[in-house]
Homo-oligomer: A and B are copies of this chain.
Amino acid sequence: MITLTSDFGSPYPAAMKGVILGRSDAQLVDIAHDLPRQDVRAAAFWLRETLPYFPPATHLVVVDPGVGTDRNAIVVRAGEHTLVGPDNGVLRPAARRLAGDAPIETYVIDEQRLDPVEPATEAIDDGESAPTVPGGGQGPASNTFHGRDVFAPAAATVHETPIEELAGLTVLRAAEHEVDLELPTATVEGERARGEVLVVDDFGNVITNVPGSYLADRETIVANGERVPVGETFATVPIGDRVATVGSHGYVELDVNQGRGDDAFGLMAGDSVVLEPAESGDS
């Protein structure tokens, strides 16, 4: 199984799938291709919260603002899973979750040793004069579409290799250094939690990094100065009302029942969030 995650929109992911399916019989599963453009942190969050629900698989990830620079392309083994993507930290939070107590192994992809991606022959006399070699003949891989030309073939190779034998692949070499990324954590001092918005989801739910346990035994909190009822579900408040709840990732979310929390609270990813207890008895 190979999962695919990118910020490519449409139809670029299809070319990656074609390359993979020409080299592998892997089952393909899309995680998302509409992640916020070139937002490594948002992608790292969604991967960390989604991939642990999968059985062992190869996870292809291309959220890659540094495409074409000298950043490495890497393969990460995390427990029984492997991740393939750019060395910009996007894979790390998910890798830690997937590895558990097992060590994380990181390899650099030697792009020159990958079997080059070669699309079907092009007719000679059709007046359509695009160069046969992607990237305008400047090299074996396009400078702008490593998803198709580097990561997809690498993912297929990794998928076809028993996970214990990754280190023996000639297209991989041990990484000496890699970019780390840690998603920010909240601090709880006394009854006050200081954190930030990790992401806003498609529903407009504001997902903070404050652990859901902060809401235990509270009926009302004050979020950035505004009183908000605490509910176990959206439906504990009337439609259109605000509610603080423990979201499906285990964090405090600031939501609106059947509405958009980001609009109601005026919050977006990266914004600071301070949660405080409400005065008792006036909730």
A120 and B52 in contact, given A126-B96, A213-B131, A246-B143 (Cβ under 8 angstroms): yes
Q: Roughly how many angstroms separate A132 CA and B22 CA in the complex, as a whole number?
A: 38
Cα A81 to Cα B119 with chains together (Å): 13
Total identical chains: 3
Is the pair A123, B99 in contact by a Cβ cutoff of 8 Å? yes
Q: Which of B34, B51, B215 contacts A18 (CB 8 A)?
A: B51
Determine which of B54, B81, B97, B233 lies in contact with A21 in the assembled complex, contact meaning CB atoms within 8 Å: B54
A residues 81-120 in Cβ contact with B at 8 Å: 81, 93, 96-101, 117, 119-120
Interface positions of A from 210 to 262, Cβ below 8 Å from B: 211-213, 215-216, 232-236, 245-251, 253, 258
State the majority secondary structure of interface residues on A. loop
**Cross-interface CB contact of A182 among B98, B117, B128, B232, cutoff 8 Å:** B128
Find out whether the CB atom of A123 lies under 8 angstroms from the CB atom of B97: yes
| A32 proximal to B (CB < 8 A) | yes
State in angstroms the CA–CA spacing of A30 and B15 once bound together. 10
